[in-house]
Structure 1
Amino acid sequence: MMNIILFGPPGAGKGTQAEKISSNFNLPHLSTGNIFRENIKNETPLGKKVKSIMDSGNLVPDETVVELVASELDKPMYDNGVILDGFPRTVAQAKELDSYLEKNDKQIDAFITLEVPEEELISRILNRGEGRSDDTPEKVKTRLQVYRNETKPVMDYYEEKGAVQKIDGVGSVDEIFNRIKDAVSE
């Protein structure tokens, strides 16, 4: 049983690495981004709300995100662990997650953060062509700034708990994955 938080700025390669960790450790991958995209695509009320927030370049409010993740984590497929990708984004979300896990006799076993220089992130995001409405150089810089301001404290929060593993996020997908595997297996 292993609960892993995969962390890093937009464009760090979290989704790609989460899939590799998922198949290697046989853990389900919970991406708030995927949950959001699914809801946006299906035009659910939550999806419409989330889309307008994201289109303005802002982060979705804590309550909305926590509600979404908690209801997902209640599913039996997550009983033996999970890879959380894109969550928690704020210290408030991290504390909510901790209390949710405690209630269910679980904890975060590893907090893996992918470290990538900003120029590299910007070029990756602009080249990945997901067609997000906020994938312009200006908006990407805004998203990175929002990430630094609002989500770095989350890393500090988990650092105090001794759970943080910093991984060099530059290199081939396999090189980065091997660094993660080594860190998780320690």
Structure 2
Amino acid sequence: MTKPDPAPRPPAAPADLEIKDAQLIFPAVWADLLEKHGADVQFPSEFIWLGGAPGAGKGTNTPFIARARDITAPPVVISALLTTPQAVAIKNAGQLVGDREVVALLLEELLHPQYRDGVIVDGFPRTKVQVECLKLFYHALLARGGPPPMFRIALLFVTEEVSVERQLKRGREVLEHNRQVRASGAGERLEERVTDLDPGLCRKRYQGFKDTTFDALQSLRQIFHFHFIEADGDLGEVQRNIVREFAYQSSLELSPEVFQSIQHLPLATELARHARQELVRRLEQYARENPDAFRRVIGWIETKLLPIVHAHAMSGHAQINSEEALLDDPTALRMMIDVLSERGFHVTVDLHRVDVPERVDPQTWAIICQTKKVFRIEIRYPPSDIRRGH
């Protein structure tokens, strides 16, 4: 009796296929790399994987992102890697530059010493297979020991309307540039992309980004730190969004042990954020709870400090030594600083004690000194706009 044929297996889901493809691609590329360069290969300490729709402004904003993260190396642009001699050789051999070839070219490029302190990679990952390869790359770096690599995903996002508008604008600018080159005979012509001249093709490019790259990058939200940067606005607005997204976050950059030991200390940005409200609260409290002292401090500022401040208006910097007894009271000293701060002055105060000879002990001939308190007050403020002639 023959056994019935087993039930056919359901086809593998697309995600499973992509994971399997990556599990075949990355180990082979990694093994080739180690065989060629040795096990002690050195990769960057920080990676920013930058993605964005057509017209999102990646090329425009990459230098700004680099400055925000103190990255001095040029970006690695995947589209440029595909024109390298290695990529051209692959094409000339009649082969496609697929995910395996892209990953191999990228890892080879990242070994250059100029990227050691940090790198921005423009245009990777773009596919779900590349996303899986990125995860495997991260785990391969972790397995080497030492500080964990810093991976950041940055996505410059624009709506379809903005993307299409910017692509068409770029196409018009290229056409006009080339027209002037032909008319004058000076300069070099730029590539005229068909996709920058046809609204339908512009929309198709955007939709391709949404269906592949966008979804691929979104899948990394739960694994790596993800910077979603709104890029619809003008350049200044976009760069403000970048600064806000890339603000220093110690929990991401320090080891858990170090972060745990210092996290109870306030961040400077948190202090500054609430400083104005706390200043107002203190001034109202002075007027309510210590009205006499508050009036004396204001009177002293008006009669003693402001005349000197006015005299230094050209420089915006006044230094004042005072033995005013009123300032012996710490609350009065705080009042003085707060009142001037509310009016826009930057004030610092140092207390110096000076021993002044007062008398001589006739029996021991010891000099008896009186200790005086001298408050050294430094006040800075915007100087006069009047310029001196040269």
CA distance in 1, matches of 2:120, 2:150: 10
CA distance in 1, matches of 2:206, 2:133: 24
For 2:193, the aligned partner's letter is: R
Calculate the TM-score normalised by the size of structure 2: 0.41
1:138 to 185, 195, 200: 200
What do residues 81-115 of structure 1 show as CA deviations (whole Å, max 9, x unaligned)? 21111110012212212322433345453212112
CA distance in 1, matches of 2:210, 2:49: 17
CA distance in 2, matches of 1:154, 1:19: 24
The offset of 1:15, in angstroms, is 1.3
Residue 173 of structure 1: aligned partner? 235
CA distance in 2, matches of 1:158, 1:174: 28
- Matched position secondary structure for 1:104: helix
User: Which consecutive unaligned segments of at least 5 residues does structure 2 have?
Assistant: 1-44, 143-147, 175-190, 250-390
Taking only aligned residues, the RMSD between alpha carbons, in angstroms, comes to: 2.9
Computing the radius of gyration from Cα coordinates, the structure with the larger value is: 2
After alignment, is 176-185 or 133-142 more displaced?
A: 133-142
CA 67–150 in structure 1, closer or farther in 2 if over 3 Å, else same = same
For 1:79, the aligned partner's letter is: R
Matches within 5 A, 1:1-186: 1-24=45-68, 25-28=70-73, 29-36=75-82, 38-39=83-84, 44-46=88-90, 61-105=98-142, 107-128=149-170, 129=174, 131-135=192-196, 136-161=198-223, 163-185=225-247, 186=249
The answer to whether the 8 Å contact 1:27/1:83 transfers is no
CA 33–19 in structure 1, closer or farther in 2 if over 3 Å, else same = farther
User: Which consecutive unaligned segments of at least 5 residues does structure 1 have?
Assistant: 54-59
Higher helix share: 1
Number of aligned residues: 177
What do residues 16-69 of structure 1 show as CA deviations (whole Å, max 9, x unaligned)? 111222244224311112323x449xx9335679xxx8xxxxxx6322221221
Q: Which has the higher contact order (CA 8 A, sep 6+)?
A: 1
The answer to whether the 8 Å contact 1:116/1:169 transfers is yes
CA 108–98 in structure 1, closer or farther in 2 if over 3 Å, else same = farther
CA distance in 2, matches of 1:82, 1:19: 11
CA distance in 1, matches of 2:150, 2:135: 8
CA distance in 1, matches of 2:54, 2:236: 19
Q: Percent identity?
A: 28
- Matched position secondary structure for 1:158: coil
CA 95–120 in structure 1, closer or farther in 2 if over 3 Å, else same = same
For 1:139, the aligned partner's letter is: L
Calculate the TM-score normalised by the size of structure 1: 0.79
* Structure 1 runs (4+) greater than 4 angstroms displaced: 46-49
Residue 16 of structure 2: aligned partner? none
The offset of 1:132, in angstroms, is 2.5
CA 156–23 in structure 1, closer or farther in 2 if over 3 Å, else same = closer
